Structure 1
Amino acid sequence: MKIFFKSKAILALAILFTCLSTNAEDSKQQKSHDKPNILFIAFDDLRPLIGAYGEPEPITPNLDAFAKDSVLFNKAYVSYPLCNPSRASMLTGVRFDLQSDNWKDNKHPKLIAKQDTWPGVLKDNGYWTATRGKLYHGKIPGNDKSSWDIGGKFWGKIQDGGPEILKKIVEMGGREDQIQIYKDKGAGPGSLMYAAVDGPDEILNDGKVAKDVIDFIKNKRDKNKPFMIASGFARPHMPWVAPKKYFDMYPEDAGKLAPFPKGAKAAFDMEKYKSKTRDHGWNEGVDDKTAQKLIRGYMASTTYADAQMGKVIQALKEEGLYENTVIVVWGDHGYHLTDHGLWRKNTPFLISLRSPLMIKTPSTRGGQVVENIVQNIDIYPTLMELTGSKIDKNIKLHGKSLVPLLHNEEVDWQNIAHTSAKGSHGVITDKYRFTQMKDGELHLYDLEQDPHEWNNLASDAKYASLIKDFLGKMSKVVWNKP
């Protein structure tokens, strides 16, 4: 039967009534369960170089707005500053240090298989689960596919490259040899380069992720169940490819090289942090002008990813779901942007280990900043407590629930993080970062007096007792098994 409206006013009222009815129905469905929804947002290679963490230059309006609604953890660290082990630790609650010389022992599916992941536990506890983009280190391992009602898509080796993207690039720069890899392979996950693409957000993978996640929220989810949706954005991982409009937000001279003391460049032992890419020396051989443009590309990629997150958050609000959704925003580790003459991650430096972490719940007060030391292994027990989920007695978690900190409760909190990177092991406290390198050399830095970690105090006898205490604590820590 067709209904004809005699006036625009009546039509407007009818539309309004339909919207109100839809919202009321969504609200009714939301109240049909007593568990909060969960949106987990992961960024790849995003260090806390965002406005919410006091950085004035990056343009991150959506992350900054979210910080006002959430609890921001100012001293969040990862167990290992590399995508594979960091994401495996976050998903399983187990510390991984990749000490085996056999790379087969370090493959992501093998790490994930150590114990049940929290997405699987949530699904077992009645959650509808879906994921898009990079949550794992690549596609969902076969041993964890059962954790998802809808799993994938991850675009694998296609890192926003290929013939269709190449012909739309209007600006490109970086290390010439790595630009050539990107051109030849249509991908460059390790390429130190940037590229501005003349096209819409959806031409690149993060735009596709946002579109799919919005579809989950608005259409595909089971509205009779609480949902857990994971949105994994690949940027600002290399190569720093983003739509041109995000580059245009920054002036040509945007981007600041990391400072270093006089004489540090010549004295720095680059050999300790050597890799295939770092064989080229300080800043991987790029000149300062190129380095500055690369940092601008990193920030443009961050702004692009921030915009995609904003679209997802807006979809939650449009569906009337924002208030009753636990939202976790997490970066998988820190990142060098010429700090100590290095790019990338996988070093024991604080800049590599520190990551952004913000959490909003229906009951927390937004705008709070927590200075307690926390880690990626704390996310699993936090989600379990927030959702009241039952877990198998065989699951052993290395972290602690952050719920008391979220609610600003007085709690006996051990302010120490246990870390590993490229064969090293160490600890981070409020005042110190201590590391025993793979060759046994000791490094101790006073983070209050020397925040950029240039003055190694380990050989000073007055710190011998402190170092002994740190080594004792490190000897008791469990790695690689529940």
Structure 2
Amino acid sequence: MFGAMLLHILLLWVLSHLSRADCERNDARPENLDLLQRKLNVANTNSSKPNLLFVVLDQWRWDWAGFHDAHVAMPTVQTLAARGVSFMRAYTPSPQCAPARSAIAAVREYKDMWVKNNTYHYVSEKMTPTFMSVLQQAGYTTMLAGKDHLTIAPISGPFQSTGMEALGVDRFHRALDKYSFCQGIFGRYVPVDGYSDYLTAKGILQAQCKAYGGIGYPFTGAEGACCNETPVFDWAFPQENGFRCMMPNQLDEEHSPDAWVRRSAQELLDSHQKDHGASPWFLQVNFLGPHPPFILKSSTALPSTSLPEAIDVSGSEQQPVFDLDLHGLQMVPNIFHGYVNITDSRKQYAALLQQIDEELEELLKTVDQMPGETVVAVIGDHGEHLGDHGQFGKTSPFEPAVHVPLIIAGAPFRHNVKEYHPVSTIDVPMTFLELAGILPSPTMQGYSLMPALTGVGTLTRPAVMSGMNYWQDVIPDVNYSHGRVQFDSAAALFGTDFLKLICCPVGCRKGGSLLPTMVAPQVALMNVTQGEDVHRFEKDILNQPAGHGVQEALYLAAFLSKDFQEVCMPLLEALAV
């Protein structure tokens, strides 16, 4: 095995030196050498294929992994970072669950995906190969535990396998998110996924549903006993809530959603070993946290260390909405100011991450007992504002929403390395395929992260991209809506400067003072470096002073989708005159 790995690294070294001139600029990808490298990997059939563990946390922002000033207690994640590479500038294809996860499954950029928001599902007539189906065809047992958010619900009983075969998953224990596992009417709950099946078998479905809540009227206990200060989902304000849940849940000591996900993953590994011995496997473990509701075990203590305060909160008491009666933009009170204590919410988010870290530790104990070498990747599917810019949730182009943790660890890789070249979460499956010596589908667009993992060669991704296209629901009691959330963004390194272009055809319209509130086309070039106060994560530098950043913005605009280029290119070209 060592000889095969040495040959693999030598090939990477030769290819990287052949392509060094092409990699000097961010705007050149050596397609021919990239393809040659992958063909050589496929031809190298003498090396054993590693097991692949892909851990996804839901709504995990980049600076709450213990690397920055948010001193979150995640010792297992820190251990993985010490055993591998931490990608400090990793970005999601989209700051919403279904498009982010769909883009990863298809290994395609958001702009080239048909899944634009959570109302879409990956499995459709536009189905293309997933990286899981490619691994499956190459002899891997492919498994999934937890929330996939790729296929239609209900996913219990006879509907449980809907879409899994098309996705290329052999074995699975699936779950909906923490808002949706409790479905019913007038207080009568029915199982709709693997987790609620489990709760039903234990005789505690109704008790757990009363703690977590359901989706609004006419579902009894919509707020949930643990989150009665903030509705989990309320028709008077149909936004994700549950950001402040002051009552701990005794049932979660043994039966929390994330504990069920961990046990399900362990069961899948056990069944694979019994049936297939030491043959290679791929397992994706999708924890339901730290997505709200922020419900904690009674034994979990809130962090004693101080956490960073939310930025840009002052002045965010108002939020922009579209008044459907007056047919125009209005400013109304920001409902989160009345519902949520930001400090409490941040502490609960940190404590929930600690709980997930403990589940990950237990899972890795099982993985360590499996035969063969295992490569572990841990990511967040998207981020969470946590009160920054006066907002909670994620559907924005700003750093708390689109910047995520990404760690890859394995025995042959470099240890305790921090990589600052921008990468995308869709690069993880492309790296998995290369590790397994498998040629990706021609439709796949990710970039292998092997140069960063081995220290041989350089990363060649020219830019990272994120996008969103989502119509917010109408709030019936007051007849207004937040309107369409629509943006495309691209970011790249320019020397030592890391810059992000944001294009919003109907205005970016996020709370706070980061950008002016408007409903006309809006473009900004964010200097994505840590500063102070409201600009702690990013600051618009476009045309400040006149002409500044225009050429860099025009370069990044080439990575936007065609529709967004048509809107924002004229704005940039006018500044270039």
Same-fold status (TM-score > 0.5):
yes
Contact 1:379 1:401 in 2 (8 A): yes
Matched, 1:158 2:171: no
1:149 counterpart residue number: 170
CA distance in 2: counterparts of 1:50 and 1:103, whole angstroms: 25
CA distance in 2: counterparts of 1:453 and 1:202, whole angstroms: 41
CA distance in 2: counterparts of 1:384 and 1:249, whole angstroms: 40
CA distance in 2: counterparts of 1:265 and 1:102, whole angstroms: 28
2:16 counterpart residue number: none
Question: Structure 2 matches for 1:70-85, cutoff 5 A?
Answer: 70-85=84-99
Matched, 1:386 2:432: no
2:312 counterpart residue number: 260
2:303 to 227, 244, 250: 250
Q: Please give the TM-score of this superposition, normalised by the length of structure 2.
A: 0.66
Q: Return the offset for 1:66.
A: 1.3
Contact 2:431 2:449 in 1 (8 A): yes
1:61-119 CA-partner distances (Å, limit 9, x unpaired):
111111111211000001211111000011101122599899798333239x5411111
1:120-179 CA-partner distances (Å, limit 9, x unpaired):
111110011221101344658834425222123224621699631267799845754x15
Matched, 1:123 2:170: no
Q: Return the offset for 1:180.
A: 7.5
CA distance in 2: counterparts of 1:199 and 1:434, whole angstroms: 46
Question: Structure 2 matches for 1:216-235, cutoff 5 A?
Answer: 216-221=268-273, 222-235=276-289
CA distance in 1: counterparts of 2:543 and 2:504, whole angstroms: 12
Matched, 1:205 2:257: yes
1:398 to 437, 440, 445: 445
CA pair 419-168 structure 1, distance change in 2 beyond 3 A: closer
Question: Structure 2 matches for 1:178-217, cutoff 5 A?
Answer: 178-179=231-232, 181=234, 190-194=241-245, 195-217=247-269
Contact 1:189 1:237 in 2 (8 A): no
CA pair 343-283 structure 1, distance change in 2 beyond 3 A: farther
3-state SS, counterpart of residue 286 of structure 1: helix
1:462 to 534, 538, 547: 547
2:409 counterpart residue number: 360
For structure 2, which runs of at least 5 residues remain unmatched after alignment? 1-45, 183-194, 197-204, 213-223, 323-329, 469-484, 507-520, 566-577
For structure 1, which runs of at least 5 residues remain unmatched after alignment? 1-31, 183-187, 273-277
User: Which letter does structure 2 place at the counterpart of 1:230?
Assistant: Q
1:388-434 CA-partner distances (Å, limit 9, x unpaired):
01345xx3222211111111123262452122133111212242221
CA distance in 2: counterparts of 1:134 and 1:338, whole angstroms: 25
CA pair 115-352 structure 1, distance change in 2 beyond 3 A: same
Matched, 1:308 2:359: yes
Contact 1:436 1:442 in 2 (8 A): yes
Matched, 1:348 2:397: yes
Matched, 1:435 2:502: yes
CA pair 175-168 structure 1, distance change in 2 beyond 3 A: closer
User: Which letter does structure 2 place at the counterpart of 1:433?
Assistant: K
2:21 counterpart residue number: none
CA pair 304-35 structure 1, distance change in 2 beyond 3 A: same
CA distance in 1: counterparts of 2:486 and 2:115, whole angstroms: 10
Q: Return the offset for 1:354.
A: 0.6
CA distance in 2: counterparts of 1:97 and 1:158, whole angstroms: 30
Bigger RCO (CA 8 Å, 6+ sep): 1
CA distance in 2: counterparts of 1:54 and 1:461, whole angstroms: 34
* Segments ≥4 residues shifted beyond 6 Å: 98-105, 166-171, 476-479
CA distance in 1: counterparts of 2:47 and 2:448, whole angstroms: 23
CA distance in 2: counterparts of 1:256 and 1:121, whole angstroms: 42
Question: What percentage of aligned pairs have identical amino acids?
Answer: 18
User: Which letter does structure 1 place at the counterpart of 2:381?
Assistant: D
Matched, 1:329 2:378: yes
User: Which letter does structure 2 place at the counterpart of 1:134?
Assistant: K
2:48 to 8, 28, 34: 34
Contact 1:175 1:192 in 2 (8 A): no
